[in-house]
Structure 1
Amino acid sequence: MNETLKQPMKQTDGAKLSLFMPTHLSDPENRQDPIVFKNLLRDAEEKLKEFPEGTLVRVMDELNQLQKDIMFWNRTKGGIGILASEAETRIHHLTYPVPASIKIGHEFHVLPLLKYQEGEPEAFLADISRNRLRLYYFDGHTVKAVRPAGLEQDFYDLFDDFDPDSDGGSGNFNGLVGSYHGGWSKAEEERKDREKYFRYLDNAFTRLYKDQPMPVILSGTTENLSAFREIAKGDFYAEAAIDKPLDSLNAHQIRDTVTKIMEDRRKAKYQKTTDMASVALSDNRAETDLAKIRKLAQEGRVAEFLVNEQYISEDSQELDSLINDLTATGAKIKPMAYEDESRPEPYLAILRY
């Protein structure tokens, strides 16, 4: 989650630097990223010569060292955003590309960060069958296998004395004895084993979500997905799922499918925001005039400030200044998007009263 708009940068009267640029995951494009960064720093040095409130010597030294840090450039995703002053430096690894820009001023340029205010499109991808799990992490670009500590991914690892070829018996499940009655059919035994294993997975995913609050996207056969949904209690499971085992898809198909699911989730979240804006306008609890919003912000009456996604790339010092002031009052800053482009407001404030 992008914390800059939740926790304001430390206050300082000196120069403020805002740097944004797209980055690349693969060769040869990613070889150019440090060069683009170096050119942006050169532009920053020139702009700082004209800025009377300080030259950010310490910050520029840090950023020049960062330009040479190979490990840093190997970890980038879609873009980076850097906000820095003599008091503090924050680096954001962005999942999506942003236009290259460098700004020096009295306010931080925060508009490009609004798109990420609702959180990066990260998720766990859980490929489940009746007796095993394969868990993956999606960072917005790539899918990679993970094995969180304490999460058993195979059914038989949970039953230290269970005989999969027997028709009945008893076994230990995480130290608890579970009885298996002789005479069960093979199909009934497999159903009960699956139910027990799926309950374990649901509890394990709940613990995982508490540590790493990301949605869980399920994949597997329609039968297993249906059985798991009947048991699952967590509200963090994505509504959409991949209704086939992942080993039936190649890496590109998996990535494209997960990306589509996450994009649909983002659109649904935006729709809720725009619906809320419509209700606030109809109830006369919203304002779209920037000067009036600034006055309402000074009175502490703005609860949420929404910026149309189409305007996020705009170079507006006035809007940056207002967002920084609103953040200090505790107002929530959110992006919004209209699918049908029926609403013209570039920004909108929802009032507390």
Structure 2
Amino acid sequence: MDALERDYRTVLLATHQPPCLSLYQPTHRAHPDKQQDPIRFRNLVRDLELSLAQKHAGRDSAPLLRPFYDLADDGDFWNHALDGIAAFAAPGLFKVYRLQRPVRALAVVADSFHTKPLLRLLQSADRYHILGIDRQQASVYEGNRYALDEVELAPGFPRTAVDVVGVRQGAPERTKRAYGPEGPGQTTRHGTDVRQDELDRDMERFFRAVDEAVLDQYSRPTGMPLLLAALPEHRHLFRAVSRNPFLMSETIDAYPGALSIDELRERAWRLVLPLYLERLGGLVDEFGAARAKHLGSADLADIARAAVAGRVATLLIEADRVVPGRFEPETGAIAFAPLHDPGVDDLLDDVGEHVLRAGGDVVIVPAERMPADTGIAAIYRF
């Protein structure tokens, strides 16, 4: 499975040779509902096929559509569905992602990918990772306040200690190693002690490899807080070797395999909640200070123009707010209009997507934490 976090800005927001195909679908985790998901997916693929025939008549669409039909026949993929999927194709490119939140069914053929449904999912401030580890194996989970799922680790991730240190077979144990002369009061090390030293060094090597992989593949690309789930005898060593600045000081004192997924999510959210509230409080305070210096605004028209000019450093968007209208990406001009009109989309998402393209940050904030009643608030660079 591709890493949506890494791909969002660098792949999905990038320019591609058209046509660009985007497909979104809600999916189900359990029977019997999940049995209908592949059928609904094929119907959406047929919508893509019809749209291609209308907009790109005469083009051989088979290479673009083949990965979608192959996915429809992939039973293992559908057996491990979460709450939604997003799939994208362009000449020479196919990407598919499992989503932790439902999305509206949609099939779009355009000159660029339709990524707005991902904005609120990816930029929500309540997301976190969990690293579960003991001396033999490691696992990674991604969650929010509502859901938690184990991550499908990328090839090369050190899942087990064997991946890092190999299998020790047939290594003869020395019966005794002395440090200093033998005798009363002197230090003598026996074979079991020497073997334990080897095991401890192996565990440290494994923990260092896992720490580096988590930082490079998950924490650094996402900026999400990381919770450690481990027994005391393992967590102390991991914290001693870790160089991950996203690792929280709080710990879940259990290996994830000892808990149900709901128990793990509940324990994680209790620990993440204070950090989540602190982060939102800091953003609200930062916005207030910026606004007092005329470096912040809650006016949508002003923010839209500032986004096009590259002035928005941080944008706060109300989680469930929709402001229908048209956004002109060249000038930043906006026009309010009914959502059912052709060409009308959510202005908040339009502006947020433009801010991300310009290198700014977007944070989705629940209504009760928003510092303005317009559904949007911006902190400007200048």
Fold equivalence (TM over 0.5) = yes
Alignment partner, residue 379 of structure 2: 350
**88, 95, 100: which one aligns with 1:95:** 100
Aligned to 1:176: none
Q: Which amino acid aligns with 1:297?
A: A
**1:294 pairs with 2:304:** yes
Matched position secondary structure for 1:310: coil
**Matching of residue 151 in structure 1 with residue 155 in structure 2:** no
Q: Which runs of 5+ in 2 are unaligned?
A: 143-147, 154-158, 180-185, 220-224, 325-338, 340-344
Q: Which residue of 2 aligns with 1:25?
A: 29
Structure 2 vs 1, CA of residues 21 and 272 (structure 1 numbering), >3 Å: closer, same or farther? farther
Identify if the C-alpha distance between structure 1 residues 227 and 326 changes in structure 2 by more than 3 Å, giving closer, same or farther: closer
Q: Report the more deviating stretch, 190-199 or 207-216.
A: 190-199
**1:10 alignment partner, SS class:** coil
Who is 1:135 aligned against? 138
Superposed displacement of residue 147, structure 1: 1.7
Matched, 1:115 2:128: no
Shift of 1:43: 5.3
Shift of 1:113: 0.8
> 5 Å matches for 1:225-304?
225=235, 229=239, 232-244=242-254, 249-250=259-260, 253-254=263-264, 256-258=266-268, 269-304=279-314
**Structure 1 residues 59-81: Cα deviation after superposition (integer angstroms, max 9, x where no partner):** 87347514633254345433112
Count of aligned pairs between the two proteins:
331
1:44-193 equivalences in 2 (<5 Å): 48=51, 54=56, 58=61, 61-62=65-66, 65-66=69-70, 68-71=72-75, 72-83=77-88, 90-102=95-107, 109-118=114-123, 121-127=128-134, 132-139=135-142, 140-142=148-150, 146-147=159-160, 150-152=163-165, 169=178, 182=187
CA change 1:294–1:76 in 2 (3 A) is: same
Q: 1:251 to 1:276 in 2, by over 3 A?
A: same
The answer on whether the counterparts of 1:58 and 1:86 sit within 8 Å (CA) in structure 2 is no
- Does residue 336 in structure 1 map to residue 346 in structure 2? no
Distance in 2 (alpha carbons) for counterparts of 1:43 and 1:208: 40
Which secondary structure does the structure 1 equivalent of 2:7 belong to?
coil
Which residue does the alignment assign to 1:35?
39
Amino acid at match of 2:120: K
Cα distance in 2 between the residues matched to 1:124 and 1:153: 22
Change (3 A) 1:110 1:233: closer
Query: What residue in structure 2 maps to residue 175 of structure 1?
Result: none
| Cα separation, 1, equivalents of 2:233 and 2:123 | 33
What amino acid is aligned across from residue 310 of structure 1 in structure 2? D
Q: Please give the secondary structure, in 2, of the residue aligned with 1:304.
A: strand
* Greater relative contact order structure (CA < 8 Å, 6+ sep): 1
Gaps of 5+ in 1: 171-180
Q: Structure 1 length as normaliser, TM-score?
A: 0.68
| Cα pair 1:23 1:78 within 8 Å, conserved | yes
Task: Give the secondary-structure state (helix, strand or coil) at the position aligned to 1:3.
Answer: helix
Q: Give, in angstroms, the shift of residue 35 of structure 1.
A: 2.1
Question: In structure 2, how many angstroms separate the alpha carbons of the residues matched to 1:289 and 1:241?
Answer: 41
Counterparts of 1:259 and 1:269 in 2: how far apart (Å)? 15
**Residues 107, 317 of structure 1: 8 Å contact kept:** no
2:162 & 2:288 partners in 1: Cα distance? Answer: 45
Which AA in structure 1 matches 2:214?
Y
How far off is 1:9 after superposition? 3.5
Pair 282,2 (structure 1): closer, same or farther in 2 beyond 3 Å: farther
On the 8 A contact 1:114/1:333 being kept in 2, the answer is no
- Structure 1 stretch displaced more, 248-257 or 92-101: 248-257
Amino acid at match of 2:61: R
SS in structure 1 of the partner of residue 8 of structure 2: coil
The superposition leaves residues 265-292 of structure 1 with CA deviations (integer Å, 9 ceiling, x where unpaired) of: 6665555544443433333212332322
CA distance 1:91–1:134, shift in 2 (3 Å): closer
Equivalent-residue separation in structure 2 for 1:231 and 1:143 (angstroms): 23
> Quick check: 1:111–1:313 contact (8 Å CA) kept in 2?
no
Query: Normalising by the residue count of structure 2, what TM-score does the alignment of the two structures yield?
Result: 0.64
Q: Deviations over 1:123-168 (max 9, x none)?
A: 42113xxxx34422325423789326643499xx69x6667xx896
Secondary structure in structure 2 of the residue aligned to 1:311: coil
Alignment CA distance shift 1:200-1:92 (3 Å): closer
Deviation at 1:16? 6.2
1:121 Cα deviation after fit = 4.6
- Measure the CA separation in 1 of the matches of 2:107 and 2:93: 17
Q: 1:292 to 1:70 in 2, by over 3 A?
A: same
User: Could you tell me how far apart the structure 1 residues matched to 2:216 and 2:270 are?
Assistant: 25
- Equivalent pairs: percent with the same residue? 20
Aligned counterparts of 1:15 and 1:289: Cα–Cα separation in 2: 35
Q: Over the residues paired in the alignment, what is the CA RMSD in angstroms?
A: 4.9
